[in-house]
Amino acid sequence: MPNLFRIFAAVKKIACFIILCIMFGAACQRATVQQFDGVAFGTTFHIAYIGNNSRTLPQQVDSVLQHISSTFSIFDTNSLISKVNSAQDPDLNEDFQHVLQIAFDISAKTNGAFDCTVQPLVELWGFGRDNQKKVVPQGTIDSVKEFVGCGLIHLQDRKLVKDDPRVQLNFNAIAKGFAVDKVAEFLVSKGHKDCLVEIGGEIVAHGSKGKRPWKVGIQTPTVTADGPVESQRSFELRDRAVATSGNYRNFFEKDGKRYTHILNPVTGRPEETNLLSVTVIASDCATADAYATAFMVLGLEKSMRIVKGDENLEACFIYDEGGKLKVESTF
């Protein structure tokens, strides 16, 4: 794949991969599971579907991913989002408009904990394209916060209208989930109604794997950034999406203090929380992806209120309490 798939390398959530459990068991004796994988968005992807092997399907999926990269990659200077960020005035395609509307909706429902205009803060702290992580003075943070906020942008006739030209967008906390949705949608359109798509731990499952739903698992948070990948718990997933956000791999330390890549758009600073990871189940992966990031900012109590008030959401929170892992979940 071309270098376009560095799209999310700087802020990818490899910290919080959901572990894929594609196992060949008794439930699949009458089903033929086809699988292929690859690299996209600075991480790996895995596809599984029931049926006859299609030699052309991997290339077709690559084309879907390339289109998404050309829309949302902040590393591709010719991408649609790069043109928007460089003060050009391009027409926004349907995918861009759709993701933007989801971002607006979740920003409103989380009181700004999710914000797609966070790009200047991402670059400021070094979690962006240059990957030069650093501690930032409060005065500098305050000056950048002046042009961060979803209220500063509007969608009008396929155009993005900015109240401040310095506003820049970053969909890294939602576009990977959207990519999973699009690939799964493509597979179903090709007749593969029983399929599972995973990109960097974000998953959509359609149909079943033989007689049973697909099975996935949540990674146990690690003490170190390169800790082993182990499953905290597993569960069945059918016609739903799941995404996880965590802060225990992508971070830096300065003078004994840890600074994570989970930025609070309101304070402009890396969020300090005892939450280690949040897994969200929703009807689509873009929504699950965005909520998972927002909940890392909001914390357990506020997030749980949102989940319990929305019948379409489920969530699992893993947090540290006195050096011990604790779990609170609605599923």
The angle at the Cα of 74, spanning 73 to 79, to the nearest 5 degrees, equals 55
Distances (CA, A) of 180 to 19, 77, 294, 314: 15, 23, 19, 18
Q: How far apart are CA 67 and CA 62, in angstroms?
A: 9
Collect all residues with Cβ–Cβ distance below 8 Å to 241 and sequence separation of at least 6.
Answer: 177, 180, 181, 202, 203, 204, 205, 281, 282, 283, 284, 285, 287, 288
**Domains of the chain: residue spans and CATH:** 91-162 (1.10.3980.10)
Q: Taking residues 240-258, what's their average pLDDT?
A: 85
Of the candidates 14, 74, 5, the one whose C-alpha atom is nearest the C-alpha of residue 42 is: 5
The pLDDT of residue 63 is above 70: yes
| Confidence grade of residue 76 (pLDDT, cut at 50, 70, 90) | very high
Q: What is the pTM assigned to this prediction?
A: 0.89
More confident residue, 258 or 47: 47
- Give the single-character DSSP code of 25: -
Alpha carbon of residue 15 to chain centroid: 11
Identity of the amino acid at 175: A
In the chain, what percentage of residues exceed pLDDT 90?
Answer: 76
The pLDDT of residue 2 is above 80: no
Q: Could you read off the pLDDT of 278-324 as tens digits, one per residue?
A: 999 999 999 999 999 999 999 999 999 999 999 999 999 999 999 89
**92 CB-side CA count, 13 A:** 20
* Residue keyed to tokens 């011990």: 324
Q: What's the pLDDT at 4?
A: 33
Q: Is 303 exposed, middle or buried, given 0-12, 13-18 or 19+ CB atoms closer than 10 A?
A: buried
Q: How far apart are CA 71 and CA 151, in angstroms?
A: 22
